[in-house]
Amino acid sequence: MVTLEDLRTPKKNTWCPGCGNFGILRAFTSALVQLGVEKDQVVIVSGIGCHGKMVNYVDVNGFHGIHGRVLPLATGIELTKPSLTVVGFAGDADCYDEGWGHFSHAIRRNIDMTLIVHDNMVLGLTTGQTTATSQKGFKTKSTPHGSIASPLNPVMHALVSNGTFVARGYSGDVKHLTSLIVEAIKHEGFSFIDVFQPCVTFNYLNTFDWYKARVYKLQEEGHDVTDRQMALKKSMEWGERIPIGIFYQEESPSYRESLPQIKDINLTETSIENIDIDPILQSMT
Amino acid sequence: MILNQISVMIGGEAGAGIARSGFLFAKTCMRGGLHVFGTNDYQSLIRGGHNFYIVRADAEEIYSQADTIDLLLALNQETILLHRNELTHGGGIIYDGEEVELSEDEMGINNVRLYPVPLKSMVKELEARPIMRNTVALGAAIGLLNFDLKIFNGIIKDTFKEEIAKINIAAAKMGFDYACDFSRDQFIGDFEYHLKKTKGSRKKHLFIAGNEAVGLGAIQAGCKFYSAYPMTPATPILHFLAEHERDYGMIVIHAESEISAINMVAGASYAGVRAMTATSGGGFCLMTEGLGMTGMTETPVVIVLTQRTGPSTGLPTYTSQGDLRFAIHASQGEFPRVVIAPGDMEECFYKTMEAFNLAEKYQIPAIIITDKFLAESYSSVKSFDLNRIGIDRGLLSTQLEYAGKEAYQRHKLTGDGISLRIMPGTKGAIVRTNADEHDESGYTTEDPALTVEMADKRFKKLNALIKDLENYETTKFFGPKEAEVTILGWGSTKGPIREAMKLLNKEESRSNYLQILCLCPFPVANVQGVLDSAKLTVVVENNRTSQLSGLIRENLLRDVDHKILKYDGRQFNPQDLSQKIQEVL
Ligand SMILES: Cc1ncc(C[n+]2csc(CCOP(=O)(O)OP(=O)(O)O)c2C)c(N)n1
Ligand code: SF4
Ligand SMILES: [Mg+2]
């Protein structure tokens, strides 16, 4: 069984002190320990941004890919080797700006993986510009007069894309986030967690205090996770009170389960010697 | 009489089943023991517009279409107006005499035989769909050519479900009987061209397109993951593999974009399977960042780039060789890759298999570059030798447990730059890779010394690859050793060049030809050797700037004497090309 110590890497952490990313790192590693998985059976995939450093900080298999492409990269891994636990870590710009096109598609395919978005509502690594989730009026170097566009609502989008596990966490509540990650990894199909991750350096608006005053837990208020309509209603709640927790969950066959030739086979273990193409050749004569 | 040597064109509106008819006729010729080449010409639209398909059949081996048409099956008047000047003297036209009125005078050409067949009325009589006019016309053609309708019926039975086969066979018979009657009563001995079953009909040949040969090569090479987004002329590979995915335990996924496709393929390869994608120029543009990632992370992938006429959307359904430099240089930074250009259907098969081996041995991206002409043309080929290319996965461990004493490092520095590759999920190992510059364990680094070491590591693999390529056919030489002119080319120009050589070398050995199959790394020594003994050199290419000449200049510091370039979206025609070569002599 893996321990927190096992999951540590020798890499020096370069996140700003107090950054919300630490909470996600702690929650993820704690979740792996709780799940009792073997660390060599876990693959993490990350995009480019502060969040992307996750691959350097957790000692499991990892692919630090390019900006915005966490989902297709993880899809390729998951489909060919289902025995692996595949978890993607993306940034809000990474997933909701550069990679937005992949988001709905991974959800509607119901790829059996977990996606954790470090949603700090800012481009961290490029020194603080506006992203798809930045609040209207948010002033940054790229929007000195305030962001004009209205923010995307990723949770709502996941719900209308027929997401089978849709959740939101807050990195200031590591215990709660850990339990969400545990449930997400256990879920068969695409699990999505948008995580409020305060960027202490560039996001002056959505701070720990800001969230603390607003977030409440859906599961403490008797929310029915099987009711998509109610989940949609909850996903629109924004302002004085903002819900976190599991919005919606259902059992539905994953993409792979609909491929009779694959199902639970690790394609990596099938022999590629002596493939018989004669039937196709015959059809061409 | 001209026996077993013919060029037939079938033309009509888009949506009229032209390509399908051409395919059926070509296959009939092949089963009759003839060598066949089939090529299509269509526009980027679904209905209306003008489509045509050319089938050339010959008792001798042939490599491309011909310049002219001996028999035209015209399903509308436009086909006749557009192609009448391509008809040979003594050529014929089968058309619907009740729909189209034609006289030699009106056509402005003489010595053309007119064979009106009431296609529409016959289809009505059969109570069949209008598209069946094609089949009636094919039947009439087979009758006129004195060919064997039984062979055609056999192909119909193999191709269609019973109901549809039945009606097709009836339609063909109607056309056939009409033409036979016709020949007897009105045109006895009138049409010079005849086809007759040969001894070759007993040998097994395949009728296959370049795209299918690539797809087949991928299946045979053990490709288990294919992801792509539709784009002409690469789309048929997606269709082909999707049709066979269940029988061969592979995953074929129609991705949401080419960006997604290349990243999925990289993920699958990292997980440990052979993986491929295919696209055309526009899609390859979108793949370039992912391509660089595979170079950086040393993830072997195979990318098929089927060129079409550019820039931008260009002529979506026409051919070109304009993307050679793009394939060689695509993506930022420097990393080794291999770019392979098959020139015919057999090479499409074998070179695809080789591409998988090279990609895995050197843990690099391998690009197969073809074009519309090669990808979508068909030809009859000897059935493939399935033992010629083995499977070599290089330094990939398929052990379920890692046995090494030291902790596994994905990017370990080694003498030849190649590190042991193991699959994530192997017990006792952590497989970490990184699109950022990284250390041996895959952790991000910005250290200047390590940056140099890692770049050098990747390029050491190039040295090893260059050495290894001596064992591969990176060039092929055709024709007499000594000749007045040496032709240089790559890719699909091979067919027209070999046909042009037939014409040039009829009486004396005037030409020879060096086909360059591996464009990157460039086979310097082979090309050097041929250039050294060449009297006069001419590069033949389907592009505007002669990119091959540039590569020769870059790698050998010498110029070629002449360039024959064609960039109107159409392939070279043999006669035309041989004349152009003649002009430089
Ligand atoms: C194709 C591409 N465009 C732009 C960049 C530059 N870039 C690096 S990180 C980043 C965005 C970071 O924002 P986010 O994804 O929200 O991650 P964070 O740093 O906030 O964790 C960008 C745009 C890049 N690496 N690649
Ligand atoms: S810039 Fe923001 S997101 Fe990035 S490490 Fe610093 S606090 Fe965290
Ligand atoms: Mg961000």
Q: What is the 3-state secondary structure (H, E, C) of B322-371?
A: CCHHHHHHCCCCCCCCEEECCCCHHHHHHHHHHHHHHHHHHCCEEEEEEE
What pLDDT sits at residue B183? 58
Take residue B289 and report the two structure tokens written for it: 């960042």
Tell me the DSSP string of B369-414. EEEHHHHH-EEEEEPP-TTSS-----SEE--SB---SSPP-TT---
Q: Collapsing DSSP states into helix, strand and coil, what is residue B289?
A: helix
Peptide bond into B521 cis (omega under 30): yes
Residues of A in contact with B250 (CB under 8 A): 261, 267
The answer to whether the bond into B496 is cis (omega within 30° of 0) is no
Does residue B94 carry a pLDDT above 90?
yes
Q: Which residue has the higher pLDDT, A41 or B13?
A: A41
Q: How many residues does chain A have?
A: 285
pLDDT at residue B69, as a whole number? 97
- Determine contact: B162 vs chain A, CB below 8 A: no
Query: What would the pLDDT profile of B197-224 be if each residue is shown by its tens digit?
Result: 999 888 889 999 999 999 999 999 999 9
Q: What is the pLDDT of residue B187?
A: 56
Is residue A80's pLDDT more than 70?
yes
Element (H, E) at B297: helix B281-297
Q: How far is CA A101 from the centre of its chain?
A: 15
Cα(B255)–Cα(B200) distance, rounded to whole angstroms? 43
Query: Hey, what amino acid is at B369?
Result: I
Per the CATH hierarchy, to which homologous superfamily does domain A21-283 belong?
Thiamin diphosphate (ThDP)-binding fold, Pyr/PP domains (3.40.50.970)
In contact, B94 and B113? CB cutoff 8 Å: no
Rounded to the nearest whole angstrom, what is the distance from the C-alpha of residue A202 to the centroid of ligand 2? 7
Which amino acid is located at A90 in the chain? A
- Ion ligand 3: residues, CB within 5 A, are A 91-92, 120, 124
Q: What is the mean pLDDT of chain B?
A: 95
Q: Report the pLDDT value the prediction gives residue B577, as an integer from 0 to 100.
A: 98
Using only the alpha carbons of chain A, give its radius of gyration: 20
DSSP 8-state secondary structure symbol assigned to residue B201: G
| Cα gap B261→A280, rounded to integer Å | 25
The domain limits of chain A are 21-283
Residues B536-550: what's their mean pLDDT? 98
Q: Check CB contact of B290 with chain A, cutoff 8 Å.
A: yes
Q: Between chains, do B249 and A285 touch, taking CB under 8 Å as contact? A: no
Tell me, in angstroms, the distance from the centre of ligand 3 to residue B285's CA.
27
Write the pLDDT tens digit of every residue in B33-90. 999 999 999 888 877 788 999 999 999 999 999 999 999 999 999 999 999 999 999 9
Residues from chain B contacting residue A283 (CB–CB below 8 Å)? 158
Please tell me what DSSP assigns to residue B434: E
Q: How far is the CA of A198 from the centre of ligand 3 (A)?
A: 9
Beta bridge partner(s), residue B10: B53, B73
Distance from CA of A50 to the nearest CA of B (A): 12
**Predicted local confidence at residue B167, as pLDDT:** 96
Q: Which residue of A has its CA nearest to B228?
A: A72
- A45 near A60, Cβ under 8 Å? no
Rounded mean pLDDT of A125-131?
97
Compute the C-alpha angle A250/A253/A259, nearest 5°.
165
Kindly tell me if the per-residue pLDDT of B186 is higher than 80.
no
How much of chain B, in percent, has pLDDT values that exceed 70?
Answer: 98
* CA atoms of A104 and A163, how far apart (whole Å): 9
Residue B146: per-residue pLDDT? 93
ipTM above 0.85, yes or no: yes
Give kind and range of the element (H or E) at residue B539.
Answer: strand B537-541
Q: Which CATH class is domain B475-584?
A: alpha beta
Separation of alpha carbons A238 and A229, rounded Å: 17
Instruction: Give the residue-averaged pLDDT of B520-537.
Output: 98
Please tell me if residue B273 touches chain A, with a CB cutoff of 8 Å.
Answer: yes
Q: Domain B5-203: which topology?
A: Pyruvate-ferredoxin Oxidoreductase; domain 3 (3.40.920)
Domain boundaries, chain B: 5-203, 207-382, 396-470, 475-584
Confidence tier at A276 by pLDDT (50, 70, 90): very high
**A1 band by pLDDT with thresholds 50, 70 and 90:** confident
The predicted structure's pLDDT at residue B204: 87
Phi-psi region of B373 (alpha: psi -120 to 50; beta: other; left: phi over 0): alpha
Q: Are B533 and B576 in contact (CB under 8 A)?
A: no
For residues A255-280, give the mean pLDDT. Answer: 92
- Whether B431 and chain A come into contact, CB under 8 Å, resolves to yes
Burial pattern B534-553, b for ≥16 Cβ within 10 A else e, equals bebbbbbbbbeebbbbebbe
Distance in angstroms (rounded) separating the CA atoms of residues A167 and A191: 8
Ligand 2, atom nearest to A14 Cα: 5
Partner A contacted by B354 (CB < 8 A): no
B207-382 has which fold? Answer: Rossmann fold (3.40.50)
pLDDT of residue B189: 60
CA pseudo-torsion sign B572, B575, B578, B579:
negative
Beta bridge partners of B39: B54
CA proximity to B114, closest of B73, B147, B150: B73
Q: Is B6 left (phi over 0), alpha (psi -120 to 50) or beta?
A: beta
Ligand 2, atom nearest to A197 Cα:
3
Average pLDDT over residues B182-197: 75
The number of C-beta contacts closer than 8 angstroms across A and B is 197
Tens digit of pLDDT for each residue in B333-354? 999 999 999 999 999 999 999 9
**Which chain A residues are Cβ-neighbours of B450 within 8 angstroms?**
none
Question: Which residue in the set B257, B290, B432 is minimally distant from A66, CB to CB?
Answer: B290
Could you tell me the distance, in angstroms and rounded to a whole number, from the CA of residue A50 to the centre of ligand 2? 6
Give the global pTM. 0.97
Do the domains B475-584 and B207-382 match in fold? yes
Average confidence (pLDDT) over B364-384: 98
Predicted confidence (pLDDT) at residue B392 exceeds the cutoff of 70: yes
Q: How many angstroms separate the CA atoms of B56 and B26, rounded? A: 8
- The pLDDT tens digits for A201-248 are 999 999 999 999 999 999 999 999 999 999 999 999 999 999 999 999
DSSP state of B440: T
DSSP state of A16: P
In this prediction, residues B100-113 reach a mean pLDDT of 77
Closest-CA residue to B456 (of B339, B335, B364, B328): B335
The yes-or-no verdict on residue A8 having pLDDT over 80 is yes
* Tokens coding B537: 């050199």
Decide which of A260 and B456 is more confident.
B456
Q: What is the pLDDT of residue B521?
A: 98
3-state class (DSSP) for residue B252:
strand
Tens digits of residue pLDDT in B267-315: 999 999 999 999 999 999 999 999 999 999 999 999 999 999 999 999 9
Binding-site residues, ligand 2, Cβ < 6 A: A 15-16, 19, 21, 50, 120, 124, 199-202
The span from the CA of B456 to the CA of B464, in Å, is 12
Å between B391 CA and nearest CA of chain A: 7
Side-chain-side CA neighbours of residue B471 (13 Å): 8
Predicted local confidence at residue B49, as pLDDT: 85
Report chain A residues whose CB lies below 8 A from the CB of B273: 80, 267-268
What spacing in Å lies between the alpha carbon of B329 and ligand 1's midpoint?
A: 25
**How far does A105 lie from chain B, in Å, by closest CA?**
7
For residue A21, the ligand 2 atom closest to its alpha carbon is: 8
Token pair 């030699």 in the structure block, residue:
B104
> Does residue B224 sit at the A interface (CB-CB below 8 Å)?
yes
Nearest residue of chain A to residue B424 (CA atoms): A61
CA of B317: how far to CAs of B42, B63, B492, B541, B573, in Å? 7, 21, 15, 18, 18
| pLDDT, greater one: A167 or B17 | A167
Nearest CA, atom 8, ligand 2: A19
